[in-house]
């Protein structure tokens, strides 16, 4: 039990590592004051360019995968817990006074490790929706919603299916401002 709690705590710290924020700081930018004010890869890309945006995306995805891998050393249930801890850390980073990102890239890393087929399917959904409208937020929302459906379709465990549903709902909730702007026609397309 002690080892599980230790791994969950470590996964939270891994998830809390503020990749986008630190990359922006390297350029002398407070990302909370630029663009959408979000530390995620999309705002980093828009603010600092494709290199830094890509680094933020890879870093956020990598910390999700690392946390899930850490838990898998103790078993599948532990991997769900460490994956969840990393997502909480990303959304509520101890290093940023419990502020953080919307969990999309970190969730991608977690689920690529836990449910690769479903995750690749959801990534395909993201690419398709993004190609149609160039709205990152809409693509993220629909892809997140597709993940639990795909997890069940690929017959992953009940734990993974339930976890994917919970994460999808949280991602959608964290995009509530984007949803409002989409409905009002004020959401920015990527690249504009």
Give the tens place of pLDDT for each residue, 149-176: 999 999 999 999 999 999 999 999 999 9
Of 81, 103, 126, 134, residue with least CA distance to 20: 103
Q: How confident is the model at residue 191, as a pLDDT? A: 73
Q: How confident is the model at residue 125, as a pLDDT? A: 98
Query: CB atoms < 10 A from the CB of 184, how many?
Result: 8
Give the tens place of pLDDT for each residue, 102-131: 999 999 999 999 999 999 999 999 999 999
Q: List strand residue ranges (DSSP E) for 62-135, in order.
A: none
- The single-letter DSSP state of residue 34 is S
Helix axes 76-91, 158-174, angle to 10 degrees: 10
- Could you identify the residue written with the tokens 């509530």? 176
Of 110, 4, 6, 107, residue with least CA distance to 67: 110
pLDDT band at 192 (very low <50, low <70, confident <90, very high): low
Give the tens place of pLDDT for each residue, 89-104: 999 999 999 999 999 9
Helix axes 136-153, 176-184, angle to 10 degrees: 120
Q: How confident is the model at residue 35, as a pLDDT? A: 86
User: Any idea where the domains of the chain sit in the sequence?
Assistant: 1-114, 116-192
């Amino acid at each position: 039990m002690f080892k599980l709690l230790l791994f969950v705590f470590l996964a939270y710290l891994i998830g809390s590592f503020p990749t986008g924020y630190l990359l922006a700081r390297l350029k002398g930018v407070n990302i909370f004051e630029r663009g959408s004010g979000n530390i995620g890869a999309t705002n980093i890309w828009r603010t600092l360019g494709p290199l830094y945006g890509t680094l933020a995306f890879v870093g956020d995805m990598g910390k999700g995968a690392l946390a899930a891998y850490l838990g898998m050393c103790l078993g599948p249930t532990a991997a769900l817990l460490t994956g969840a801890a990393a997502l909480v850390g990303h959304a509520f980073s101890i290093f940023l006074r419990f502020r953080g990102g919307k969990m999309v890239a970190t969730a991608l890393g977690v689920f690529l490790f836990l449910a690769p087929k479903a995750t690749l399917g959801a990534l395909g959904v993201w690419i398709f929706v993004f190609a149609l409208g160039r709205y990152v937020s809409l693509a993220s929302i629909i892809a997140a919603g597709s993940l639990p459906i795909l997890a069940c379709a690929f017959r992953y465990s009940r734990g993974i299916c339930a976890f994917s549903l919970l994460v999808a709902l949280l991602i959608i909730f964290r995009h509530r401002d984007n949803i409002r702007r989409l409905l009002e026609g004020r959401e920015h397309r990527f690249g504009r």
